[in-house]
């Protein structure tokens, strides 16, 4: 029997966070904490996190989803994904307190929530695993290369493009400017810090305020607000890619990666992996499991995609 969900409130550095617990009837030693990415709240886009938590609870896995400080119904100032370690620790504390018998927690995160999970997991021995979907590894160079490689190739194969061209409705000038801008970003000379593996701090500047998803030629590209676009760019600070790498290297638990086949954010992360022996070694480790849902967009917006993600998650959490 599935129990009714519970609304919870708990403190975090002087602020008050809001969460929803999806409990289970029998005691469980492992649960899933759903980390909410981008400027959104605990329900998720198209109620994804609500439905995921309920699906996990139906399989005997307790789940909790919560709002960061400054998001949803939580108090405080809004912050980006690189500044939520305290929120995650407070949420793990509350999750374990609300579920007697819970001994360990799996962090589940999509996009920049996956990146936030990588930063945090090694700091908390109660975290035994991570489910990371389409991790955010945005840099101006990486996004430009991913777009050139994946978007334009697919775009040329679309009948709609050629219909626009032959009907005279295609804007060659705008297309040329966009292509030239991407070429410039993809192959611009990088600063010395980037050449030493500290790139990844500067991110695509096209996004403005909102976790917007833009469909393009069967692919989806995600833009974060300006606060996240400049994260990790302090002089001398490790770039985003390096911080993610160090976080995953320092975490000894199990990891499940889930990638969308029709998402530029996922492709950019995978291109980063292909360019790095260290990343390739990490993803090839026995503790890492990997799934790809070829037709899915960034947020797995169709029911069949969402259900597949929930199935992979529950099967993996119960497999060890």
Walk along the chain (320 residues) and give the pLDDT tens digit of each residue. 678 999 999 999 999 999 999 999 999 999 999 999 888 899 998 999 999 999 999 999 999 999 999 999 999 999 999 999 999 999 999 999 999 999 999 999 999 999 999 999 999 999 999 999 999 997 655 555 556 655 656 666 667 766 777 787 766 677 667 656 656 655 665 544 343 333 433 333 333 233 433 444 455 555 544 334 434 445 556 799 999 999 999 999 999 999 999 999 999 999 999 999 999 999 999 999 999 999 999 999 999 999 999 999 999 999 99
- Look at residue 79 and tell me if it is in a domain: yes
Predicted local distance difference test score (pLDDT) of residue 165: 73
- Look at residue 194 and tell me if it is in a domain: no
The domain spanning residue 260 has which CATH number?
A: 3.40.50.1820
Interatomic CA distance for residues 4 and 198, integer angstroms: 47
- Look at residue 201 and tell me if it is in a domain: no
Instruction: Write the pLDDT tens digit of every residue in 282-312.
Output: 999 999 999 999 999 999 999 999 999 999 9
Predicted local distance difference test score (pLDDT) of residue 213: 39
Question: 255 is in which domain, residue-wise?
Answer: 6-138+237-317
- Look at residue 279 and tell me if it is in a domain: yes
Predicted local distance difference test score (pLDDT) of residue 197: 38
Q: What are the beta bridge partners of residue 20?
A: 7, 65
Reduced to 3 states (helix: H, G, I; strand: E, B; else coil), residue 41 is: coil
Predicted local distance difference test score (pLDDT) of residue 183: 60
- Look at residue 143 and tell me if it is in a domain: no
Interatomic CA distance for residues 80 and 259, integer angstroms: 22
Residue 236: CB atoms within 10 A of its CB come to: 6
Instruction: Write the pLDDT tens digit of every residue in 16-59.
Output: 999 999 999 999 999 999 999 888 899 998 999 999 999 999 99
Predicted local distance difference test score (pLDDT) of residue 238: 74
- Look at residue 229 and tell me if it is in a domain: no
The candidate with the shortest Cα–Cα distance to 52, out of 115, 129, 133, 123, is 133
Token pair of 285 as six digits:
């480790």
Predicted local distance difference test score (pLDDT) of residue 143: 55
Predicted local distance difference test score (pLDDT) of residue 35: 98
- Look at residue 199 and tell me if it is in a domain: no
Class of residue 308 by CB neighbours under 10 A (exposed 0-12, middle 13-18, buried 19+) = middle
Interatomic CA distance for residues 135 and 284, integer angstroms: 17
As for how many domains the chain has, the answer is 1
Predicted local distance difference test score (pLDDT) of residue 107: 99
Predicted local distance difference test score (pLDDT) of residue 253: 98
Task: Tabulate helix, strand, coil % of the chain (nearest 5).
Answer: 40, 20, 40
Whole-model pTM? 0.78
Task: For tokens 């500047």, name the residue.
Answer: 205
- Look at residue 257 and tell me if it is in a domain: yes
């Amino acid at each position: 029997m599935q129990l009714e969900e519970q609304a919870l409130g708990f403190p975090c550095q002087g602020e008050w966070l809001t969460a929803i617990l999806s409990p289970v009837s029998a005691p469980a030693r492992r649960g899933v904490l759903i980390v909410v990415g981008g400027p959104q709240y605990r329900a998720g886009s198209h109620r994804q996190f609500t439905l995921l938590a309920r699906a996990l609870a139906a399989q005997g896995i307790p789940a909790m989803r919560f709002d960061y400080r400054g998001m949803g119904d939580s108090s405080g100032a809004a912050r980006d994904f690189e500044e939520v370690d305290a929120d995650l620790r407070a949420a793990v504390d509350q999750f374990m307190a609300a579920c007697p018998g819970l001994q360990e927690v799996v962090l589940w995160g999509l996009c920049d929530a996956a990146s936030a999970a990588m930063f945090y997991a090694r700091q908390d021995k109660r975290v035994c695993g991570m489910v990371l979907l389409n991790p955010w590894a945005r840099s101006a160079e990486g996004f430009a290369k991913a777009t050139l490689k994946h978007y334009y190739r697919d775009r040329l194969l679309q009948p709609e493009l050629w219909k626009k061209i032959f009907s005279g409705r295609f804007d060659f000038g705008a297309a040329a400017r966009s292509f030239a801008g991407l070429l410039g970003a993809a192959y611009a000379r990088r600063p010395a810090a980037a050449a030493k593996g500290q790139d990844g701090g500067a991110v695509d500047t096209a996004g403005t305020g909102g976790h917007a998803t833009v469909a393009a030629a069967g692919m989806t590209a995600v833009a974060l607000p300006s606060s996240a676009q400049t994260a990790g760019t302090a002089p001398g600070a490790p770039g985003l890619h390096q911080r993610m790498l160090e976080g995953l290297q320092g975490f000894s638990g199990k990891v499940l990666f889930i990638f969308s086949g029709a998402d530029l954010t996922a492709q950019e992360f995978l291109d980063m992996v292909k360019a790095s022996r260290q990343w390739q070694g990490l993803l090839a480790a026995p503790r890492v499991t990997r799934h790809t849902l070829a037709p899915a967009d960034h947020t797995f917006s169709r029911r069949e995609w969402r259900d597949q993600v929930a199935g992979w998650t529950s099967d993996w959490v119960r497999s060890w």
